[in-house]
């Protein structure tokens, strides 16, 4: 399928229309992934918008989002296909003479997300989310799918996508993904937004929060991310914090209210203590 966008800038603008504010480098990576029919591997910290960009691309392209959430121990029966054992048994019992070979056909296959995406082809965006949680074997299994947009099912043969789906893979980098997988993808590191872009994200995602408060939150969160926390807050946490501050009725940030509402922003006791210890500084930087 030809690239539906003229330029990365046009793609960024259209993503903005569906509420996702991409920076130039991410817009370029997504533009290239679409134009070159290559999977897009996104790595980055928690809450920086990796999953959301796949959702936004699906919405923008008018395609179905097919999501595979990875976890330790995930295997092909959850990710690719399984057999409809109940129907196989019933049909073998009901129709005398039907051999077991007759019930290992496409009709008895239950499609899981990867097979659904291959069969949907370019009508789908396939999100393989948090791949770093899956085991090495599962990562190796994905190699054929990512380079050929096809898989081999022993009883059926090769199933190939009629046209490549857009594939977005994400990783929080809790372990290193293999070079073989990286080589098959375009790679982009999703960083935290700068204060200006985070402010614009807050305007889009929390439009009820007054402009001045949103600006202070964006600036304060930048400062908090610079404190060396174990788990710095993501964009999702900034949005929650802005909403929380608005909910308790403040129009401008103060140290007291900032400290009292940290539950929405910082999700670790050690990190909360670090932030609480610097709260005057943080608030002053945003005033
Ligand atoms: N660039 C952006 N434009 C608009 N909203 C954004 C952007 N980045 C993040 N968000 C918001 O932040 C929230 C968190 O983003 P998302 O869930 O995609 O993060 P993530 O990187 O997948 O995090 P995790 O690694 O924890 O899964 C989203 O629901 C969205 O509202
Ligand atoms: Mg995610």
pLDDT in tens, 43-74: 999 999 999 999 999 999 999 999 999 999 99
Is 281 inside a domain boundary?
yes
Whole-number pLDDT of residue 94: 78
The pLDDT of residue 90: 85
Q: Are 208 and 246 in contact (CB under 8 A)?
A: yes
Q: Which ligand is nearest to the CA of 48?
A: 1
Separation between Cα atoms, residue 117 and residue 161, nearest integer Å: 8
Q: Is residue 12 part of a domain?
A: yes
149 and 19 inside one domain? yes
Over the stretch 215-271, which tens digit does the pLDDT of each residue have?
Answer: 999 999 999 999 999 999 999 999 999 999 999 999 999 999 999 999 999 999 999
Specify whether 34 is located in the same domain as 124.
yes
* Residues 46, 14 share a domain: yes
CA of 146 to the centre of ligand 1 (A): 24
* Alpha helix stretches (DSSP H) within the chain: 8-17, 24-36, 50-61, 76-79, 85-94, 113-120, 136-148, 179-183, 195-205, 211-225, 235-247, 255-260, 269-277, 279-286
Query: Which tokens hold the place of 224?
Result: 């908090």
Residues with CB under 6 A from ligand 1: 19-22, 44, 46-52, 170, 172, 201, 205, 234-236, 239
Give the distance (Å) from ligand 1 centre to CA of residue 9: 20
Instruction: Check whether 101 has a pLDDT greater than 70.
Output: no
176-226 per-position pLDDT tens digit: 999 999 999 999 999 999 999 999 999 999 999 999 999 999 999 999 999
With the most atoms of ligand 1 within 8 angstroms of its CB, the residue from 43, 174, 235 to mutate is 235
- Burial class, 142, CB count within 10 angstroms (exposed 0-12 / middle 13-18 / buried 19+): buried
Share of the chain above pLDDT 90, in %: 88
Q: How far is the CA of 128 from the centre of ligand 2 (A)?
A: 10
Q: How far does CA 58 lie from the centroid of its chain?
A: 12
Among the candidates 138, 162, 190, a domain finishes at: 190
Sheet-wide strand order for 124-129? 64-69, 124-129, 166-171, 40-44, 186-190
Range of the domain at 215: 195-286
Instruction: Give dist(CA 64, CA 57) in Å, integer.
Output: 10
Last residue of a domain, one of 173, 190, 207: 190
Tell me: do 171 and 255 sit in the same domain.
no
Q: Give pLDDT, residue 92.
A: 82
| Whether residue 141 sits in one domain with residue 254 | no
Alpha carbons 36 and 13: distance in angstroms, whole number: 20
User: Would 254 be classed as within a structural domain?
Assistant: yes
Strand partners, 40: 168, 186
Ligand closest to Cα of 42 equals: 1
Is residue 127, in this structure, part of any structural domain at all?
Answer: yes
Same domain for 37 and 142, yes or no, is yes
pLDDT at 99 over 80: no
Whether residue 170 sits in one domain with residue 32: yes
Specify whether 204 is located in the same domain as 171.
Answer: no
Q: What are phi and psi of 204, to 5 degrees?
A: -80, -45
Nearest-10 Cα torsion for 131, 134, 135, 136 = -20
**What's the average model confidence in pLDDT over 17-46?**
97
Task: State how many domains the chain has.
Answer: 2
Q: Are residues 267 and 142 in the same domain?
A: no
Residue where a domain terminates, one of 190, 209, 226: 190
- List Cα–Cα distances, 22 to 15, 26, 56, 199, 243, in angstroms: 7, 6, 10, 13, 22
- Are residues 148 and 258 part of one domain? no
Q: Is the pLDDT of residue 97 over 80?
A: no
CATH number at residue 162: 3.40.50.300
Indicate whether 103 belongs to any domain.
no
Is residue 26 assigned to a domain? Answer: yes
- Asked if residue 215 and residue 185 are part of one domain, the reply reads no
185 domain residue, yes or no: yes
171 and 259 in a common domain: no
Q: Is residue 218 part of a domain?
A: yes
Structure tokens at 136: 């090495």
């Amino acid at each position: 399928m030809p690239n539906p966008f003229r330029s990365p800038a046009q793609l960024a603008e259209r993503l903005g229309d569906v509420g996702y504010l991409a920076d130039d480098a991410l817009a370029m990576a997504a533009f290239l992934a679409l134009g070159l029919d290559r999977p897009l591997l996104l790595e980055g910290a928690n809450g920086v918008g990796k999953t959301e960009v796949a959702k936004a691309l699906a919405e923008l392209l008018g395609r179905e989002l097919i999501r595979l959430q990875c976890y330790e121990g995930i295997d092909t029966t959850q990710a690719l296909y399984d057999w409809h054992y109940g129907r196989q048994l019933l049909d073998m019992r009901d129709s005398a003479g039907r051999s077991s070979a007759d019930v290992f056909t496409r009709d008895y296959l239950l499609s899981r997300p990867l097979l659904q995406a291959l069969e949907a082809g370019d009508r789908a965006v396939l999100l393989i989310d948090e791949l770093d949680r899956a085991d090495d074997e599962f990562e190796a299994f994905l190699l054929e799918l990512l380079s050929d947009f096809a898989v081999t099912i022993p009883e059926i043969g090769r199933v190939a996508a009629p046209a490549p789906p857009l594939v977005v893979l994400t990783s929080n980098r809790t372990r290193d993904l293999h070079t073989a997988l990286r080589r098959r993808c375009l790679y982009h590191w999703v960083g935290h937004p700068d204060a200006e872009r985070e402010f614009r994200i807050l305007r889009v995602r929390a439009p009820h929060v007054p402009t001045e408060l949103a600006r202070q939150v964006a600036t304060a969160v930048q400062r908090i991310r610079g404190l060396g926390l174990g788990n710095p807050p993501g964009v999702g946490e900034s949005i929650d914090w802005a909403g929380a501050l608005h909910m308790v009725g403040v129009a401008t940030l103060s140290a007291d209210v900032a400290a009292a509402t940290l539950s929405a922003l910082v999700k670790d006791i050690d990190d909360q203590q670090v932030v609480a210890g610097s709260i005057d500084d943080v608030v002053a930087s945003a005033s």
